[in-house]
Amino acid sequence: MIMEIKDIIKEISNVTNMVTDEQLKLFIKKINEAKRIIVCGTGRSGLMLKSFAMRLMQMGYISYVVGETITPALKEGDLLIVASASGETNNVCQAVKSAQKENVEVIAITANEQSTLYKLQQALITIKVSTKFNTVNITKQPLGSLFEQALLIIFDAIILKIAKENENMNSVMAMRHANVE
């Protein structure tokens, strides 16, 4: 079992090392400029985005998840963050089209630079991994596992970088943590 853990950590390290400081700084800049942040993804990628939206809310940002009953209409000044490994997830592509009609800023993350998503919105971050539609031999893991793991690490790195700018951020986040579960 230890070998599998080491393999996974090595793979995550290899793909996240391709993400640049400039990409993360631009990502954070767009977050800080947004009035509201809305995330959209499906499956396990969607779960990583929900986790990110939760952390942003705990930091004091106004964040929503597409598909939830309380998510408002997109408006200019909002930021839509989408992720799809294949770049072919229909509702993600539709969300980007809706955002563009409303002049909403979009951050896209994908593994596929030939995808519909990438053609609609050039990805700020391309995570070069295999997907359910293409199996490049850079991972031992099934399907999109490496993409989703990389998303979580990238999102947590963004949260950590923002948190470092405020020495009391852990206390601030703890006050906004759910107390009804």
Positions marked active-site: 148
162 contact partners, CB below 8 Å, separation of at least 6: 28, 31, 59, 169
**Torsion-angle region of 67 (φ positive above 0: left; ψ -120 to 50: alpha; else: beta):** left
Residue 99 vs residues 102, 105, 107, 181: alpha-carbon distances, Å: 5, 7, 11, 32
Beta strand segments in 29-78, E? 37-40, 63-65
Is 155:52 a contact under the CB 8 Å cutoff?
yes
Contact between 92 and 84 (Cβ < 8 Å): yes
How many whole angstroms separate alpha carbon 16 and alpha carbon 127?
Answer: 8
